Amino acid sequence: MNQAATPFPPPPPPAPKKRKATAHFMLAHPAHWIAQGFGSGLSPIMPGTAGTLFAWLSFAVLSTHWPHVFTAGNWLAIIVAGFIIGIWACHRTGQALNSPDDGSMVWDEIIAFWLVLVLVTPASLKTQFAAFVVFRFFDMVKPPPIAWFDRRFKGGFGVMWDDILAAFYTLLVFAFWRAYW
């Protein structure tokens, strides 16, 4: 046996250290500002829930104050554009944080919950709250196939797609509820 050869390959270099999401980091680039939900993702407690609450509040304010602008059709166009922009913003922010699906990135929750709200509206506050709870449940629990997609698709598309699936599950629950109750 050759004495110069080592029995084990050298260890891989250490992974880059995860960066902390801060207000300074968020304001450093427009992608971070978008991905972190205009600051709602910086919540120290349950940032995904904070992002979803931001989505609900912004939907209510925009739809109430400018109903002729924020129609269902315009909301759907905003959601499609927001999904595409979100792929870029979440990918870039995840790379900068060295955390591909960092908890501070909540644009995915915002876009997905806007989709839920558009498709359940008109709805009472009680119904919107139920949609919020059901959406958060599916987003956190990630039942199949959401978990499968979450593991397989990385980068900005993966971040955005699993929340669209959670929105789809939420809408299925509401379709079932409306059909049978």
| pLDDT tens-digit series, residues 77-102 | 999 999 999 999 999 999 999 999 99
Is 15's pLDDT higher than 80? no
Band of the pLDDT at 180, cuts 50, 70, 90?
A: confident
pLDDT at position 12 is 77
Tens of pLDDT, residues 49-87:
999 999 999 999 999 999 999 999 999 999 999 999 999
* Of 13 and 122, the one with more pLDDT: 122
pLDDT at position 7 is 73
Residues 96-129 as b/e (b if ≥16 CB within 10 A, e otherwise) read: bbebbbbebbbbbbbbbbbbbbbbbeeeeeeebe
- Global pTM? 0.89
What is the rounded average pLDDT of the residues 132-150? Answer: 94
Is 9's pLDDT higher than 90? no
* pLDDT, mean over the chain: 93
> Domain ranges in the chain?
45-180
What is the rounded average pLDDT of the residues 22-29? Answer: 96
Query: Which residue, among 12, 19, 31, has the nearest Cα to 98 in the 3D structure?
Result: 19
- Percentage above 90 pLDDT, the chain: 81
Name the packing angle between helices 72-97 and 155-180 (round to 10°): 140
Quote the CA–CA distance of 22 and 2 in Å, as a whole number: 52
